[in-house]
Amino acid sequence: MSSASATGAPPGWTRIGRVAAPVVVGLVGLAVWQFLVSVVEVSPYLLPGPAEIAEEWRANADAIREAFWITGTNAFIGLVGGTLVGVGLAAIASSARWAEGMLAPVVAGLAVVPIVALAPVLNSMYGADSEYGRRVIAGIAAFVPVYVNSVRGLHQTTALHRDLMRAYAASPGQRFRTLTLPSAAPYVLTGIRVASSLAVISALVAEYFGGPRGGLGSFISTSAATSAYARAWAYVAAAIVLGLVAYVVTALLERLVQRLLPTGALT
């Protein structure tokens, strides 16, 4: 029995509720925020009001749009690169125990490397006018969850499943298409969805530590340093929108791929 049937609510109302609930919470949060600024009179340097931030967004719309594009491009390139490397190495690791043993400490080391330590080094290596350092950082951040989830997904097929496919005289391509791919795909897609947010965060934070002064992170630090707090929050809001866009796009991609996958995999 579905959750909608269990609660007695029609499916349409359930979908509306899923959308309406976060919207209502967000509106209530904005109202409380505005109340604190207007009535309680919280200092602007502590918490600028939503109206001030919206005004700064309108006044700097062109700069925000350009910075959004720069940071988004760096995050996207890092995500794609990290995903390709992560899936490729996961395929090698899943097929050879010795390769998985060699890669495990490397991945563990990359997982704990702090961005604040790595960003200045890479930005200095690639030069003050290059975006490559930020893209590498985003790629490293994306690589770890994609690799870990891909390895786990590729290990989902059991020896019994593989023996059964051989008994059916299935070719390697058929085994991959009907068994390995459907079993591993949900894990890989989950890794990509997690990696999308990490790529955005990493690309954003890397902009605080040198390199071209054009992304959202650069404008956040510059605005805060000049006491333009409402403007800094406007760029923060744009960064939040960028993270949400990345998450929603990868979530939709996950749904699309799952619909296209063959449904007759062994379980």
Show me where the domains of the chain are located: 1-42, 49-260
> What's the chain's Rg over C-alpha atoms?
23
Residue 167: per-residue pLDDT: 65
Tens digits of residue pLDDT in 205-232: 888 887 778 889 889 988 888 888 889 9
Please enumerate in sequence order all residues whose Cβ is within 8 A of that of 128, keeping only pairs 6 or more positions apart, or say none.
210, 211, 212
User: In angstroms, rounded to a whole number, what is the distance separating the alpha carbons of residues 61 and 160?
Assistant: 58
pLDDT bucket at 58, cuts 50 / 70 / 90: very high
pTM of the model: 0.81
Confidence of residue 123 (pLDDT cuts 50, 70, 90): confident
- For residue 7, which amino acid is it? T
**CA neighbor of 234 nearest in space, from 116, 85, 58:** 58
Q: What percent of the chain has pLDDT over 90?
A: 30
- Rounded CA-CA distance 198/63 in Å is 24
User: Could you report the per-residue pLDDT of 10-51, keeping only the tens digit for each?
Assistant: 555 576 767 677 778 878 877 887 777 777 776 766 778 788
Residues 6+ apart with CB under 8 A from 14: 3, 4, 7
Q: Which two tokens stand for residue 2?
A: 């579905």
Q: Classify domain 49-260 by CATH architecture.
A: Orthogonal Bundle (1.10)
Question: Is 3's pLDDT higher than 70?
Answer: no
Phi then psi dihedrals of residue 133, to 5 deg = -60, -40
Residue 180 has pLDDT above 80, yes or no: no
* CA pair distance 108, 250, nearest whole angstrom: 25
What's the whole-number average pLDDT of the chain? 81
